[in-house]
Amino acid sequence: MLSDKNNSVLVIVDVQTKLAAAMPADELKNVLRTSNILLRAATTLEIPVLATEQYPQGLGSTHPDIKSQFPDNLVTVSKTCFSCSNSEVFLESLSETGRKQVVLVGMEAHICVLQTAMGLRDHGYQVFVPGDGVCSRSVNHKRNALNRMINNGIQISNVESVLYEWLQDANNNHFKELSTLIR
């Protein structure tokens, strides 16, 4: 199955300042890069974007490198539950988009991303997780989370695949602009 720009929602899960400080530097760099590329593409292609913050009083607000790229109409949901699918506010916001595919990026892969992916799948959504758009404090935890998701019907992808699936054709009016983001 491919992600479809007309049926996708980009969800940025808990990319927060204090949590980011605990991530391996290279992994964090990948998550920030992937998130920003997909944010830019989603904004350009008019794909809805949602973001979550896990207990922001303790873990801080969304990382400024991400927050500065948020579209004006972005919904940010504060939560204490690990799975976004256990937040009524999040589920209502997602449902209002009318879309059935969710592209998840964020942290930590083995906790909030994993639980969200499984929960959204159980709610009937098709879930895509770019492996280069998620991280955990431990690379082994990330690897384990990606394997668990694969074994449970979650589509593990990468930023380049998602971007080109959203574009669909080199004749897309935004192809030149957006393809430069991954070079």
Provide the domain count of the chain: 1
Q: Is residue 72 pLDDT above 90, yes or no?
A: no
CATH number assigned to the domain comprising residue 38 = 3.40.50.850
Residue 84 annotated among the catalytic residues of the structure? no
Q: What is the residue range of 76's domain?
A: 8-182
Residue 81 annotated among the catalytic residues of the structure? no
Q: Is the peptide bond before 27 cis (omega within 30 degrees of 0)?
A: no
3-state SS record for 8-35:
EEEEEECCEHHHHCCCCHHHHHHHHHHH
Neighbours of 53 (CB within 10 A): 20
**Annotated catalytic residue within 5, 112, 135, 142:** 112
pTM for the whole structure = 0.97
Residue 156 inside a domain? The answer is yes
Residue 2 inside a domain? The answer is no
pLDDT in tens, 118-138: 999 999 999 999 999 999 999
Residue 79 annotated among the catalytic residues of the structure? yes
Residue 95 inside a domain? The answer is yes
Tell me the two tokens of residue 19.
Answer: 């949590």
- The three-class DSSP label of residue 155 is strand
Q: Determine how β-strand 101-107 pairs with β-strand 8-13.
A: parallel
The mean pLDDT value for 65-75 works out to 89
**Annotated catalytic residue within 5, 14, 132, 142:** 14
